Amino acid sequence: MKLVGIAGSLASWKTNVAVHTVLTEARRLDSTVETELIDLRDFEVEFANGNPLAYFNQDTFNVVNKVMLADALVFGTPIYQASITGALKNLLDHLEPDAFKGKVTGMITTGAVEKHFLVAEYQLKPILSYLKGLVPTGNAFIHNDSYNDENEIIDRDAFERMHKLAAEVIQLQKSLG
């Protein structure tokens, strides 16, 4: 199984660390799982404008293809204005409506406002569902206070949520065959 993680922040590192942690947990739970982390700051993904993928630059083509070739995905985003980042939305805008058919699509959010833990459910889940992704029942919201100054996750409960998300992604993807 190829599990691809997307880190949708162009600013700092908390989302990258959280996605990396879920991918690491997935490999620890099942050594046959192959993982790849795509940090959107490493790629020049052009703005989706309705043109076919062939019209876009190599980075856009490569990132979209990595997403399409994954068996399962976890999407990580900081919460921006009670929603997801424009960078992640732009990547999702490049995809066809059945892009995630037969794929499990997990959600990880980071944020500074505790009450925004539901943003994944209300903002990201509808997009993943529209693209036919199977969204796990659990998602991981990691509050900024769960990190130390080096952006290491120091909160046991946050780690447990990421562990459970990794386990559910693997279990669901296996059940899809």
Ligand X SMILES: Cc1cc2nc3c(=O)[nH]c(=O)nc-3n(C[C@H](O)[C@H](O)[C@H](O)COP(=O)(O)O)c2cc1C
Q: Which residues bind ligand X (CB under 6 A)?
A: 9, 11-15, 78-82, 110-113, 116, 144
Q: Is 92 or 172 the residue whose CB approaches ligand X more closely?
A: 92
User: From residue 93, how far is each of 39, 85, 89 by CA, in Å?
Assistant: 17, 12, 6
The least CB distance from residue 76 to ligand X, in Å, is: 8
Task: Give the C-alpha separation, 143 to 158, whole Å.
Answer: 8
The least CB distance from residue 50 to ligand X, in Å, is: 26
Task: Give the C-alpha separation, 71 to 67, whole Å.
Answer: 9
The least CB distance from residue 24 to ligand X, in Å, is: 17
Q: Is 22 or 134 the residue whose CB approaches ligand X more closely?
A: 22
Q: Is 13 or 130 the residue whose CB approaches ligand X more closely?
A: 13
**What residues contact 91, with CB distance under 8 A and at least 6 apart?**
6, 8, 40, 45, 63, 64, 67
The least CB distance from residue 90 to ligand X, in Å, is: 15
Please identify the residue of the shown chain whose CB is closest to the bound ligand X.
111
Q: Is 119 or 134 the residue whose CB approaches ligand X more closely?
A: 119
Task: Give the C-alpha separation, 100 to 128, whole Å.
Answer: 8
